[in-house]
């Protein structure tokens, strides 16, 4: 059985569309992220990271895993503005201390299609935290 091959123009147009889609996602990921977090009476500021789409939500990452300063906010359910109380996790590393939010104990207010917002919750180690992010 003979199969008909698509015309070269159609293949190139599809490849160009894929490149443009990837470029628009990469451009949205290249914003400089900034976060401020208050934990146990101390205030920490993180700068120079990225915000990226993730699943149906987004992630804010500042620093590298294993570094002495690291911040990450993951939210997988939406990028729409509003206040939400599940589906997210915050990880903070400062020096030799690591703080991780309790599952289901994060309140997140998203603004401007996940380009800014505030968050608060309880830590796995006990205690509370609150903060904000901007992309």
| Across 12-20, average pLDDT | 33
How far is residue 108's CA from residue 18's CA, in Å, rounded to a whole number? 32
Q: What count of Cα atoms within 13 Å lies in the side-chain half-sphere of residue 121?
A: 28
pLDDT at residue 11 is higher than 80: no
Residue 130's CB: how many other CB atoms inside 10 A? 13
Percent of the chain with pLDDT over 90: 70
For the chain, list the domains and their CATH numbers. Answer: 31-134 (2.40.128)
Rounded to two decimals, the pTM is 0.76
Yes or no: say if 49 and 73 are a contact pair by the CB < 8 Å rule.
no
> What's the pLDDT at 2?
46
* pLDDT score of 31: 54
Question: pLDDT tens-digit profile of 55-74?
Answer: 899 999 999 988 999 999 99
Position 104 pLDDT exceeds 90: no
Average pLDDT over residues 80-95: 94
* Spatial CB neighbours of 47, under 8 Å, sequence gap ≥ 6: 32, 33, 34, 62
pLDDT of residue 121: 96
């Amino acid at each position: 059985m003979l199969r008909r091959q698509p015309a070269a123009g159609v293949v190139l147009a599809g490849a160009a569309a894929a490149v443009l889609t990837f470029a628009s996602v990469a451009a949205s990921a290249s914003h400089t992220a900034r976060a401020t977090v208050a934990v146990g009476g101390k205030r920490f500021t993180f700068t120079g990271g990225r915000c990226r789409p993730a699943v149906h939500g987004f992630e804010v990452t500042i620093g590298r895993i294993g570094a002495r300063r690291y911040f990450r906010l993951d939210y997988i359910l939406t990028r729409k503005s509003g206040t939400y109380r599940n589906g997210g996790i915050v990880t903070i590393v400062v020096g030799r201390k690591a703080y991780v939010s309790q599952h289901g104990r994060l309140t997140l207010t998203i603004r401007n299609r996940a380009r800014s917002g505030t968050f608060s919750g309880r830590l796995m180690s006990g205690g509370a935290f609150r903060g904000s992010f901007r992309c």
